[in-house]
């Protein structure tokens, strides 16, 4: 009886990386990007170096939230930083949290009736966050894990 194994990864110039199976490499890449990106975007809500974040807040959403749009973006920044840190520590849960967060951003962008390109990009990130959560079941061994016989 033969079991399925990932084929050897192509040599990438680093023998340590090339010895890691492809699926584990995918997990590590996704975990890295979904840790770093939310933290960077979250921090930028406080500094505004990348863009004017308030323009991405739909008026319908802004009307539901207490305070100003600026205050809402600061709260969004805190949530994004926490989501990125959760991915770093518990990617099995953090992947789903980031996916839900991205779904909310997509809805916000669609309500704006603009930035459809950003909404489509965020849909791709949403799918990537789901893939991270699924891969974490196999490759993240820090938390409780169920085994099948």
Name the residue ranges covered by the structural domains of the chain: 20-136
Q: Which long-range contacts (CB under 8 A, 24 or more apart) does 91-94 make?
A: 91/27, 91/31, 91/34, 91/132, 91/133, 91/136, 91/140, 92/133, 92/136, 92/137, 92/140, 92/143, 93/133, 94/34, 94/132, 94/133
Q: Is pLDDT above 80 for 143?
A: no
Instruction: State pLDDT tens for residues 43-99.
Output: 999 999 999 999 999 999 999 999 999 999 999 999 999 999 999 999 999 999 999
The answer, yes or no, to whether residue 147 has pLDDT greater than 80, is no
What pLDDT is attached to residue 25?
Answer: 92
| Across 37-41, 44-48, 138-142, least confident range | 138-142
Name the residue with higher pLDDT: 6 or 107. Answer: 107
CA distances from 119 to 107, 108, 130 (A): 8, 9, 16
pTM for the whole structure: 0.79
């Amino acid at each position: 009886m033969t079991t399925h194994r990932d084929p050897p990864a192509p040599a990438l110039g680093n023998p340590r990386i090339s010895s890691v199976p492809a699926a584990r490499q995918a997990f590590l890449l996704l975990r890295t990007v979904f840790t770093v990106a939310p933290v960077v975007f979250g921090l930028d809500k406080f500094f505004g170096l990348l863009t004017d974040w308030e323009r991405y807040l739909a008026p319908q959403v802004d009307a539901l939230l207490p305070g100003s749009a600026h205050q809402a973006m600061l709260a969004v920044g805190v949530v994004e930083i926490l989501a990125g840190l959760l991915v770093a520590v518990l990617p099995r849960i953090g992947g789903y949290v980031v996916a839900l967060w991205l779904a909310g951003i997509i809805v916000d962008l669609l309500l704006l009736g603009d930035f459809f390109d950003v909404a489509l990009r965020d849909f791709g990130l949403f799918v990537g966050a789901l893939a991270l959560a699924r891969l974490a079941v196999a490759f993240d061994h820090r938390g409780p894990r169920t085994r099948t016989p």
